[in-house]
Structure 1
Amino acid sequence: MATLSILIVLHDFALGGTERIAVRLAEAWARRGVAVTIFAGSDAGPLQTLAGDAVEIVLASPPIPRVRGSRIQLARAVRRFVELPKFDVVFIPGNFHWPVAAALAGTDIPVVAQVSAALDKPQRGRLRQWAFERRMRYLLRRVQAVVALSDIARDQADRILRRRVTTTIALPALGDDAPPPMPIPDTLMPIVLAAGRLVPEKGFARLIDAFARLPQDTARLVIVGEGPEAEALARQSESLGIADRVELAGYVTDIRPRLDAARLVVLASEFEGYPAVLVEALAAGRPVVATDCTPATRLLDTPSAGLVVPLNDSESLARAIATMLAQAPPDPEALAALVDHHRIGSVARAYLDVFERVRS
């Protein structure tokens, strides 16, 4: 395996799920003796340190900040870069970076692209969905393999690309040394936890609206994350008279202490690819109430694991939160066992198997 050389392309090291997973995979592959290089448009963002010392990081010169059209600039820079060194495979993490795959079409280097976000969104409507699928076929027309995070996404990708090229590999949301789950706290005012970037599609406004429908002494709501909606969410909490029960905690480097303190986790998004927070919540032994926004909600088929509610329905969300809080706490060990296959060691190995296959 030491002879394998992987190039990963990132626009930067921003606080995104795609970037975090790609950098953590790079570090895991490098620990296995694989030569890993990350080519990034810029060093913006805090995630670069997760790569460790064994991963080579090359930055575009001049830097390519995220602006309109910058992905095309990044793709051209990568095309020039791969003409110099020799890599066995190029890994394109997430839908956002697909234009790079198109730029590498026609080169001799095998390309593996990852599907990280939802491929079929009802919110798009038929015309926009048709345009999305047409663009996806164009951008990924020459890739040797595609990795999806669920069997549903795998089947959707193969249908859109009109060829069987996709492999399902679990989201590597958990470290191999992740601690075992802690007992659920028995407190008079339990904590309901939500986490993610504070943007409209994450559904935090709807979550706050649902939370306001609960009796005053039901729970506290803690939202972890940062983003442009922070002030609007704070104003909403004040206008609904629940500001004293809602905490906007900002960004945290490690969500696990927050999960340990929580009684319940809520995912209120309008759409998701395969959200890490759902996996992390179950690994910490915490049940989840989720909107029907992602194939990952199949992890909640076990009754004690949580509930799935319709999209755009604050009343159903509030009822589900109240139902879960009224039930006896589930067995944390049983919930953690549901996501054991998401540990990064086995996931990193599965990716390397795909890379070896396309190389040969």
Structure 2
Amino acid sequence: MPPDGSDFFRDSGDGPPLRILTPLHSFEPGGVERIALRLHRAWRAAGVDSHLVVGRTDGAMRREFDGLRYFTLSPRWLPTASWETLWMIASLPRAIRAVRPDILFCAGNTYAIVMVAMRILLRQNCPPIICKISNDLHRHDLPRPARPFYRLWLRLQARMIDRFVALAPAMEPEIVALTGVPESRVDTIEDPALTIDRLSIAPSSSPGPGTHYLAVGRLVPQKNFSLLLKAFARARQSGDRLTILGDGAQRAKLEALAESFGIAESVTFAGHVSDPTDYMKRADIFVLSSDYEGVPAVLLEALAAGLPTVSTDCCASMRSLLANPDHGIVTPPRDAEALAAAMAAARNIRFDRPAARRLLRRFTMEQAAPAYLASMRQTSLAAARRHDA
């Protein structure tokens, strides 16, 4: 069975194949980019005229998606990593004119600034835009003086973007309230973190004594791994271990923090891995310490692996994802004491695998890939009717 689940659907829409263009900055590891690459691969396999444009070819995920067709905006001699958003805004119009897509797919709201710029630069020649909201929109982590300007930015997006996609039902009211778009312009397509064959990963045992905690994510402020280290230092018992998968700019700082807490010998920074499944099989408890998320794909993967999960209340959907107490515990964001208490309590959870499988069936590529196509066709037709009116 292919990893993108493409054997489970074929594009059956009326008329010619839909032409999609998805811009990404690079192949650097990130949940938004990984899901976008998987969707592109699934659409291509289903006969959709899907085009991928990357600002540069750097990043570990390039090997993970070896053989994927894409176009590159940056010449080899021009380094663009430090100004990738400006570079994409400057160079993407040329790709749009060349491809002439029916729809632009904004893979996450971090790319919304690029899409708004396309609407301003190309005006009536800009294709309709569908934007997946990949992160919490409330952003309580922002400084208070910045929040009014952020709210205005969300309202501007609503004027420039044709359609929004929520990754879980709980996100839809948030999108409507904060952007001001009507409900008719928001679809819910649950995050395709899994494929049908990965709804239940066969568990293995955690070697050694104690509890083995696992966390996965880029080592950036959003993920708040410093909070996790502080909580682990409080919750740790003899033989307990913590493995953190991922890499990023904060690695040296976090390693020094682990040393200062006296837990360095119990913490492993394993770096980036393309598939955390083997680590999940050997872990006992999964922990997510983020300040904000959308629907964290890695949390869904952990539930598929049968891992009791402790998570901060970092998004509108978290309490519904972990509503079953036999799946995990939700704690307030940025509260190390509460996170530590939950990590200790999670040792006693008896994980309910059948209930997890029922929950996770909604979060598969086989469900999401055709649902996106239906939403894109509706968006493209609505834009065409407005143009003809």
TM-score by length of 1: 0.92
% identity of equivalent residues: 32
Q: Note the C-alpha offset of 1:108.
A: 5.0
Q: What is residue 145 of structure 1 aligned with on the other side? A: 163
Q: Which amino acid aligns with 2:117?
A: A
Kept in 1: contact 2:292–2:315 (CA 8 A): yes
* Greater displacement, 59-68 / 259-268: 59-68
Name the CA distance, whole Å, in 2 between partners of 1:117 and 1:324. Answer: 26
Are the equivalent residues in 2 in contact too, given 1:26–1:51 (CA < 8 A)? no
| 1:83 pairs with 2:109 | no
Q: Does 1:307 align with 2:334?
A: no
In structure 2, relative to structure 1, the CA distance for the partners of 1:96 and 1:22 (3 Å cut) is same
Deviation at 1:86, TM superposition (A): 2.5
- Report deviation, 1:183: 3.8
Q: 1:7 to 1:51 in 2, by over 3 A?
A: farther
SS of 2:218 mapped into structure 1 = coil
1:211 aligns with 2:229: no
Higher alpha-carbon deviation: 269-278 or 16-25: 269-278
Over the aligned positions, Cα root-mean-square deviation in angstroms equals 2.1
Aligned residue number for residue 34 of structure 1: 48
- Kindly report which structure 2 residues correspond to 1:151-190, keeping only aligned pairs within 5 A, or say none: 151-164=169-182, 165-178=185-198, 180-183=200-203, 185=205, 188-190=209-211
* Contact 1:286 1:332 (8 Å CA) reproduced: no
SS at match of 1:198: coil
* CA distance 1:307–1:158, change in 2 (3 Å): same
Inter-partner Cα distance in structure 1 for 2:199 and 2:220: 30
For 1:159, what is the secondary structure of its paired residue? helix
Give the 5 Å matches for 1:250-269.
250-269=271-290
Alignment partner, residue 80 of structure 2: 65
Residue 319 of structure 1 pairs with residue 334 of structure 2: no
Task: Please tell me whether residue 290 in structure 1 is matched to residue 319 in structure 2.
Answer: no
After superposition, the Cα gap between the structure-2 partners of 1:179 and 1:102, relative to the gap in structure 1 and judged at 3 Å, is closer
**1:17-64 deviation per Cα after TM superposition (whole angstroms, max 9, x unaligned):** 1111111100011111101111121111132355564x5411115457
Structure 2 gap ranges (5+): 1-10, 382-389
Q: Which moved more, 1:174-183 or 1:243-252?
A: 174-183
2: CA distance between counterparts of 1:138 and 1:239? Answer: 44
Q: How does 1:13-52 map to 2 (within 5 A)?
A: 13-51=27-65
- C-alpha distance in 1 between matches for 2:279 and 2:100: 44
Match in the other structure for 1:109 = 127
Query: 1:281 is paired with a residue of what secondary structure?
Result: helix
| Count of aligned pairs between the two proteins | 357
Which residue of the other structure, out of 111, 116, 124, is the alignment partner of 1:97?
A: 111
Partner residue of 2:361 out of 330, 340, 349: 340
Pick closer, same or farther for the CA change 1:104–1:241 going to 2, 3 Å. closer
1:122 pairs with one of 117, 131, 140: 140
Unaligned runs of 5+ residues in structure 1 are: none
Residue 148 of structure 2 aligns to a residue in which SS? Answer: helix
Moved over 4 A (4+): 49-53
Structure 1 residue matching 2:231: 3-state secondary structure: helix
Q: Residues 193 and 79 (structure 1 numbering): CA distance in 2 closer, same or farther, change over 3 Å?
A: same
Aligned counterparts of 1:216 and 1:166: Cα–Cα separation in 2: 46
Is 1:74–2:78 an aligned residue pair?
Answer: no
- Report the counterpart of residue 378 of structure 2 in structure 1: 357
1:277 aligned onto 2:298: yes
Instruction: Provide the C-alpha distance between the structure 2 equivalents of 1:186 and 1:250, rounded to a whole number of angstroms.
Output: 20
- Cα deviation for residue 328 of structure 1 reads 4.8
Which secondary structure state, in structure 1, belongs to the residue aligned with residue 195 of structure 2? coil
- For residues 263 and 134 of structure 1, do their structure 2 counterparts lie closer, same or farther at Cα, with a shift above 3 Å needed? same
Partner of 2:386 in structure 1? none
CA contact (8 A) 1:64 1:74 kept: no
For residues 268-308 of structure 1, what are the alpha-carbon distances to aligned partners after superposition, in whole Å with 9 as ceiling and x for unaligned? 11122221111111111111101111223221110101111
Change (3 A) 1:26 1:50: farther
Q: CA deviation at 1:184?
A: 6.1
> 1:170-226 CA distances to partner (integer Å, 9 max, x unpaired)?
111112332623246366322111111112331211211111123531621111111
